[in-house]
Amino acid sequence: MLEDHNNTANSKCDIWLCRCTVQQKFKCSKCGRACHWACYNGIVLDVKDKPNLPALPEGSIACTKKCHASLSKDSSDSQRADWGNNGKPETPQLTSIRMLLDWWLEHPKYEIYRGKNNEGVKKLHICRGLAKDMREKTASTGCTGEHVQSKIA
C-alpha cells in the first residue's frame, strides 16, 4: 500500500526533474524518498525514444529507474527460482537441486553431457530434458534448459 511521505515543507519531490505543485507525496517503495504520483508516471515510467517501463504492482511506487528495476526484479518470481526449496507439498524433499545432483551422480549421464559417447547430442538438449523432468516433479514452473545449463556451468 502506498504510504504518504511526511515531507510537506515544499511541493517539490525528490525526483530530479519534478515540476509538480501537488502537496501529496508518497514514499518510494524501495528507498523511502518522497515522490509524486505524477512524477512516477511521467518521469520514471516514461522513457524517451524507447518503450515505456511497465508499471509496478499496485501499491508500489519508485522514485528512480534504478529503484523501479530493483522493485520489478524483486516482484517477478519467474526470473529467480529457489532451487533448494521448490518441492511439491507431497514430496518436499524432491527439489530441483536434488534432481540435478542425482542426475549428475548417475554414471553415464554426466559423461554424455560432457561429450563422451553422446552421438552428437547437444548439451542444451540434455538440459532441456532435465528441465522438463524438474517442471513435472517439482513446483518449479519457469525452469528451462538454459537455466539448468547455467547451474551446471
Regarding whether 71 and 1 lie in a shared domain, the answer is yes
Amino acid type, 13 = C
Question: Does residue 84 belong to any structural domain of this protein?
Answer: no
Question: Does residue 143 belong to any structural domain of this protein?
Answer: yes
Regarding whether 68 and 101 lie in a shared domain, the answer is no
Residue-wise pLDDT tens digits, 108-120: 888 888 887 778 8
**How many structural domains are present in the chain?**
2
Regarding whether 14 and 67 lie in a shared domain, the answer is yes
Label residue 5 by pLDDT band (50, 70, 90): low
Other C-beta atoms closer than 10 Å to the C-beta of 43 total 21
Regarding whether 114 and 68 lie in a shared domain, the answer is no
Q: Which three cell numbers stand for residue 48?
A: 524517451
Regarding whether 61 and 1 lie in a shared domain, the answer is yes
Average pLDDT in the 2-31 region?
A: 72
Regarding whether 72 and 1 lie in a shared domain, the answer is yes
Percent of the chain clearing pLDDT 70 (strictly above): 88
* Beta carbons within 8 Å of 56's beta carbon, 6+ residues apart: 29, 62, 68, 71, 72, 75
Q: Which three cell numbers stand for residue 92?
A: 518436499
- The most confident of 4-18, 60-74, 78-92, 131-145, by mean pLDDT: 131-145
Question: Does residue 89 belong to any structural domain of this protein?
Answer: no
Specify the pLDDT at position 35: 84
Q: Which of 9, 44, 76 is the last residue of a domain?
A: 76
Question: Does residue 91 belong to any structural domain of this protein?
Answer: no
Q: Which of 43, 76, 109 is the last residue of a domain?
A: 76
Our CA dihedral for 80, 84, 89, 94, rounded to 10 degrees, sits at 130
Regarding whether 113 and 56 lie in a shared domain, the answer is no
The answer, yes or no, to whether residue 131 has pLDDT greater than 80, is: yes
Regarding whether 57 and 12 lie in a shared domain, the answer is yes
For residue 26, give the nearest of 43, 11, 9, 4 by alpha carbon. 4
Residue-wise pLDDT tens digits, 19-78: 777 777 788 888 888 888 788 878 788 877 878 888 887 778 888 888 888 887 766 554
Range of the domain at 112: 96-152
